Amino acid sequence: MGVPARHLYILGAPDCIPLIRRIAELCDDPLDEITLERKSPLRAASAPVRLRDLEAGDALIAFSRREVLDLRAELLTLGKRVAVVYGALSPEVRRAEAARFNNGEAEILVATDAIGMGLNLSIKRVVFSALRKYDGKQTRDLTAQEIKQIGGRAGRYGHHENGIVAVLGEAGTPAHIRKMLAAPPEPITELRPLVQPDSDIVRAVAEEIETDSLYGVLVRIKRAVLRADDPNYRLADMDQAFEIASALEGVEGLSLTQRWVYAMCPIDERDNGIARLVGWASDHAAGRRVPPPGTGRLVQPSQAGREELERAEKRHKRLVAWRWLSLRFADAYTDKQTAEDNTTALNEWIEAVLRQQSREREHQKRGGPGQRPGGQRPGAPRPGGKRPFGKGNAERDSGASRDGHGARNAKAAKKRGRGRG
């Protein structure tokens, strides 16, 4: 499992037991199996649900950020108080949104399947807005296990007598939900666990083939070390690591191990992440300090639409990557305090945006970007007397231009031949 612990607890559905047994066998580790029964019954609703009939304690499930925000907007126009959880939000914001739902500040939670990522939620009823999802390769029906896993979040013991799983009327039928909940576990046919090399293996293969090219090492591992026909293991998806390794080929001054660390960095490819990472690595290799990304200009939360929210989420991901690297290359990624301050500022701003419950504002934002509701005073302070967002954050955004968003530094980067997106 790659965990430096004396005892490891693995929690999962019964379906995963054969795979866990196989891993324990391969590692020659003792395995104790403990089966726990659900304390509150889980059942399918007797009738489909309409959006307007959602009640306090309901969690509405969607399968993309856009769908979550669309449903949030519709519920706001119906006068509902809404919290949201989806994968692009930081753990801090997810916890804050979960707290709003649990304490009753928000009546309804709209979430993706990120609902299961370490959150303690008091959900009475799980309502699926769709029974199909895009899994990264294709749009397909939800499996019985997925419906059980997500639907199983309903009915917190001690708070709700029963857990109820329902579906919006246009998405499916209660009969289908009932069938999926009653379906037996599907047998796992692939018992080879997914693995990826660590730095020791990377160095060993590099010595064996006498190269300092990380890309060459990864190709060797894929073709000869962990082949597709290996009887015990499968190579995990390393497409992003291959892309980063290839992009770093032109950067001089980094060791093989350092390149491997960069290849493992959590970046967002959709946000020009690889080009930005190469820029950081180039500064590191040249002995220069790498400044942390900035927050960008944060408008008043009441003035923020989806585009502003998405930009803030992307900036947060850049800071996550920078802070990850700062733990491994402290000599190059030195300004941890600014990175922490910027991360906190973005988390607070994103949460403030999500807390907005103005139905008028949501309606206007859906009508087009940049519109302002009548009577809204720009720059008004946030509740509690805290310093307002906007100019203050823009002024202290020391990393924004250096992160590829300022014309002056963009020109400088162009002169050096490596624009950072």
Give all domains of the chain, ordered by start, each with its CATH number: 1-36 (no CATH), 42-182 (3.40.50.300), 194-364 (no CATH)
- For the segment 136-180, what is each residue's pLDDT rounded down to a tens digit? 899 999 999 999 999 999 987 656 678 999 999 999 999 999 999
- For the segment 209-265, what is each residue's pLDDT rounded down to a tens digit? 999 999 999 999 999 888 888 899 999 999 999 999 999 999 999 999 999 999 999
Within 78-213, residue ranges assigned H as helices are 91-102, 144-151, 174-182, 199-209
Structure tokens that stand for 371 in this block: 């519109």
Q: What is the mean pLDDT of residues 24-35?
A: 92
- In angstroms, how far is CA 199 from the centroid of its own chain? 25
CA nearest to 379, candidates 323, 297, 317, 311: 297
- In angstroms, how far is CA 224 from the centroid of its own chain? 33
- For the segment 380-390, what is each residue's pLDDT rounded down to a tens digit? 333 343 444 55
DSSP string, 347-385: HHHHHHHHH---HHHHHHHHH-TT---TT--TTPPPTTS
CA nearest to 354, candidates 306, 407, 391: 306
Report pLDDT for 398: 40
